[in-house]
Chains A and B, each alone.
Chain A
Amino acid sequence: MSALTALARASAVQAGVAQPIATVRHVHLSSRPLVFIPLSLAGEAHAPLAALVGSSVESPQLLVVPQPRNRDQRFGFAATLAEILVSYVDSFCGETETVAVDRGRDVRERYVDAPQILVPNGGGIGFVRLFGRSTRFRRTTGEWAVDPAVPLLGRWLTFFAERAEYPGSSMLVSMTGALGMHWATGQSSVEDANLAALLGWIAPPAGMTGAEAALEAEDPLRWPPAGPATDPTFDNEVLAPAIESGSLSTLEKALRDQLEPTWELMWRGVSLLRALPAGSRVERRWADDRGAFTGYVEYVAEGGFPQAKLDVAVAAAQRLAKLERAQALYDAQRAYDDPLVLAEYRLTGEAFAGSVVASSPDRLDASGKKRVLRPHITVRSDDPVRLGPGVTVVSPARPAQKGRIVSVSGSDVVLELSGGMGRGLTAPPGSVPEVGERLTYTTLTESYQAPAAFPSRDETPWTHGGPPAEYVPDNEDAAEEWS
């Protein structure tokens, strides 16, 4: 936890209400997200019990597995969920836009909108991932055949779960995660994983403090757990008798009562997040999500294989490299969008803010073959400057311009600027910061990083076990090593 978040948490205790730790919203929010609240049966590894799902607050659909231990009913649940989810996904495969790719060398089509699934907490994302894994390899013919929609559901759930690992993606979002990114409460991060308690802190009912509201949220009768795990007392006293009674309406009522409070909370969370203005780079990240969505729609249409259970050596390394690039970019984009996030970097010395006290916009560097425009500016900062000469910094206000630290003496930092000033030997007016301008400079950069080169799959070296065997679809694909 950073010092600033620690301070915000302490202030939350004092004020009795959660404190903002972001000035803008850093997640994309769809105009019609699919809210999905899954429940699983206790004591049976990953057995779906029920789900409340829908893309508008008025019309949640309740799915129930009357006997969760029955495998046929489990895949019946998957088929019903597939109908809802796949038709939701399909509804975005309409209008496209043409975008330049490969640094302008090519163009491709991209859907103008994409699906977004909201689950209550990290456990919900885990459910999506595991349910995708248990359905995407199912066969639609022969023994143990399932509805053809089931493996398709599995692929889409897996696609969403893999996007959720990707820093900055908003395709599958946990509500506790999204809220926790914008508010600091006066409780521990473990308690923050309880959606009711978290919302209690962020928006306590009138006449109550956040702590009181959170305490009330601990009562499972008033606020049943947001899943996927259920309340053990509910399991014993309500669920078990309802399953045994064989009456579907009793069971449906019991489960609806467990899920509806969370449904309300989810949409309250949505409106809280919608009330925040979106950060200016959120749309850019959503465009990446839309690109990934378009790509996967095409891949499925071409009859591609379901996602592999394991990444082979080259795929694992490539994925890690991709995730690391995305993480660095996401960190930079959030800091550029949000002065409160940038403040954290100022505290750790990776950024400094100050006023320009001297500027020589016409300075030329004649040391090379050709004279180039390299203005110097001096920034006076009250922040502890922990960056040394030679370090390259960028100001979020002028992202196209780089500054190289020439010297640091006391609170004065001299920067040599390059970029963002045209091609001539005189800087256009306004392209060089003027004396008196207040700026923040940081080492975080959102500039393009060329992807790393990896050997092809067939060239996997001996140090990593050599080339892996080719994948051949098999009836045993759905079986797990331990099953």
Chain B
Amino acid sequence: MTDVLPGVLADLTSHRGVVVDSPPGAGKSTLVVKATKEMVSSGQLPLMIVAQTNEQVDDLISRLITALPPGVVIGRLSAQGYVPTPRVAAHASVTVGSKVADLGPALIVIGTAAKWATLNDGQWPWAIVDEAYQMRSDMLLRIANRFDKALFVGDPGQLDPFSVVESERWNGLTWDPMQSAVAVLLRHNPHLPVHRLPVSWRLPFSAAPVVSQAFYPFTGFSSGTGDGDRRLSLTTASFGGGPVDAAVETAAATGWALYELPNRHTLRTDAEAAAACASLAQRFLERGAVAYSEQAPDGAPVTASRIAIGAAHRDQVAAIRSYLPPSSEITVDTANRLQGREYDVTIVLHPLSGRRDATAFHLESGRLCVLASRHRHACVVVARAGIPELLDAHPSTEPVHLNVPVKFPDGWEANQSIMAHLNGHRVNV
């Protein structure tokens, strides 16, 4: 990563834009912070920073405050009625306002894309756009006149932006508003340099090759840690055993487990699968899992806040949560909202579990990629049997449109690749 930054910044002086692709956990945020620091020290100011959600903005601010030299004022552009979170409000070097004029002498102005889009004037010579693959191109259209040069950072393997409107009207147009900002930017400016971060510091040695092969087939990345650098050990023995314990043990030993329920067509909120997700997550706590890694060579207990359960739909999330005690601190959320987050152990309810058909939504590679790449140690996938057969019965039948670039990875292929890997880690119920 340290090698990438000088090249990126050098390219930015000679091009209007630079794109940095980052696989899961490859230090995207660190890159943004370091790039900001460099730009501050070389006087590439004023600088605008665009993130996609308020949470991302607050995250970035708290990381920037500690990294930047004292005295650099950060202006947080926010909607009216925004109440600064404690981590932002605690710092004197952050000013908050809904207009640029309210921000005082801030040379770094940071806000969500939606907020930037409300500005009608102002011009910043430099910009950093974070999570640019999560931003739709119509949003970029609304903010692009605010900056001269921009660094776009994001993960191409994650979920594409979406729209509640289905329309084929703009298919094949280079400025298709439904495409991601980076896709449109690169189609109009194909000569812009694209850099890649080559190492995932989050994914363990057991996961990086699997995720890389399935979701980044042509660019690839490796894990920053080697075989055996990360270890998950269970401090208590199971009483009587059973499939839940078997899955927990398999995941602890190999980094992966497939907890396979009997084949059945179910409603989206499959009660058995939801209960299984909850009991697997709790079992990691009951078994006293301890994570050994480069960050904690002497071991750190895997607490509830270090475990997440991910699903495709919000009603599934609600169903899973209903099987957890109300006070539980285990995170349960949809793939969309888990983007950019990191845990020691994740439990994933497979998007195709119990389905009769494989729709484009459920096949989208980004969804599975997000769910399968949030963990530092182990990932347990919960699914009904029969997903490979379901995939075989539903080959991709999306129509091919003129002038639409072929997109990789293919969701069907990625799903097959992950299932093939999980087959070796299967625990039957």
Contacts and interface: CB of A to CB of B under 8 A. Distances in A.
User: Is the pairing of A and B real?
Assistant: yes
Interface of A: 3, 6, 165, 167, 310-314, 316-317, 319-321, 323-324, 327-328, 347-349, 384, 386, 452-455, 459-465, 482
Contacts of B315: 347-349, 386
B141 A327 contact: no
B170 A316 contact: yes
Contacts, number: 97
28 contacts: A167-B165, A310-B173, A311-B170, A313-B177, A314-B141, A316-B176, A317-B137, A320-B163, A321-B138, A327-B165, A328-B164, A348-B314, A384-B318, A386-B315, A452-B142, A453-B118, A453-B142, A454-B141, A455-B145, A461-B141, A461-B144, A461-B145, A462-B16, A462-B188, A464-B137, A464-B140, A464-B188, A482-B402
B178 interface: yes
Nearest to A317: B138
A297 B175 CA distance: 30
B401 interface: no
A317 B268 CA distance: 33
Contacts of A453: 117-118, 120, 142
B144 A462 contact: yes
Interface residues of B, number: 36
Nearest to A162: B169
Given A317-B138, A453-B120, A463-B189, A323 B145 contact: no
B144 A452 contact: no
Interface of B: 16-17, 117-118, 120, 137-138, 140-142, 144-145, 163-165, 167, 169-170, 173-178, 181, 184-185, 188-189, 267-268, 314-315, 318, 322, 402
Contacts of B178: 320
Contacts of B402: 482
A170 B185 CA distance: 37
A320 B168 CA distance: 11
Contacts of B174: 465
Which 9 A-B pairs rank lowest in CB-CB distance, beginning with the nearest?
A461-B144, A317-B138, A313-B175, A386-B318, A323-B165, A463-B144, A465-B188, A320-B177, A317-B177
A129 to B, nearest CB: 10
Nearest to A320: B177
B164 A463 contact: no
A165 B167 contact: yes
A323 B167 contact: yes
Nearest to A349: B318
Contact of A463 (B185, B268, B318): B185
Nearest to B188: A465
Contact of A317 (B142, B145, B318): B142
A319 B167 CA distance: 11
A465 B120 CA distance: 20
Nearest to A165: B167
Contact of A464 (B118, B163, B169, B184): B184
The interface centre, meaning the residue of A320, A349, A452 with most chain B CB atoms within 10 A of its CB, is: A320
A455 B164 contact: no
B26 to A, nearest CB: 24
Task: With a 10 A CB-CB cut-off, give which of B118, B170, B174, B178 has the most chain A CB atoms.
Answer: B170
Contacts of B185: 463
A324 B164 contact: yes
A416 to B, nearest CB: 15
B427 to A, nearest CB: 29
Nearest to B118: A453
Nearest to A331: B164
Contacts of B181: 463
Contacts of B165: 167, 320, 323-324, 327
Nearest to B148: A462
B169 A311 contact: yes
